[in-house]
Amino acid sequence: MQIGEEERAKLKNFSTDQLIDLLFLQVRNIWRVDGLYFLGIEEKFGTAPATEIDANCWISLAKIEAKELKKIFGLDKVESIKDLLELLSNTSWALYQTKKEIEISENSGIFRVVSCKIQEARLKKGLQIFPCKRVRFGYLKSFAEELNENFEVICKTCPPDKKPENCWCEWEFRKK
């Protein structure tokens, strides 16, 4: 989807710092809306229905993001784990998670969220840890498979799993 010419011209007048700040404001807003609608559904119908709706939304978003990122970066097909993780690091989810680690080896890659803004915000509000494994796994699997059907995702840890000391969640990506 292309931005309109008028909006494009306006954005060209911004400094690089202003554009970066504006980008991250929009990323934070996506997550604010996600959190607010989730909390509303959770409050009215419970965690299980809210999680089901959330999981389906993120599966759809993953496919859209993967297609759009391939276009932005000029890629027809993604063959390497390195490229997969490069694209993943540019998703709204990864950009929002500012404390993360990425490790790439010849045959696999790890994406680790060290400090999860979503979980930490829930704890600060007095809410329980959200069992996000189903939502995040569906998102990451859909994202990876949209890039290349030969990619697989393995959850190393994610709530409701017992939280290790060094991270909130950890995902491994491999070629089948």
Return the closest-CA partner of residue 20 out of 87, 86, 80, 98: 98
Amino acid identity of residue 70, one-letter, is K
Backbone angles phi, psi at 159, to 5 degrees: -55, 135
* Per-residue pLDDT reduced to its tens digit, 40-49: 999 999 999 9
Look-up: residue for tokens 């540019």? Answer: 90
Domains, the chain, ordered by start: 5-175 (3.30.1380)
Distance, in Å, from the CA atom of 148 to the CA atom of 48, rounded to the nearest integer, reads: 30
* Per-residue pLDDT reduced to its tens digit, 141-163: 999 999 999 999 999 999 999 99
Over residues 100-123, the mean pLDDT reads 94
Task: Count other Cβ atoms within 10 Å, centred on residue 136.
Answer: 22
Task: List Cβ neighbours of 150 (8 Å cut-off, separation of 6 or more).
Answer: 175, 176
pTM above 0.85, yes or no: yes
Return the closest-CA partner of residue 78 out of 156, 150, 173: 150
Over residues 36-63, the mean pLDDT reads 95
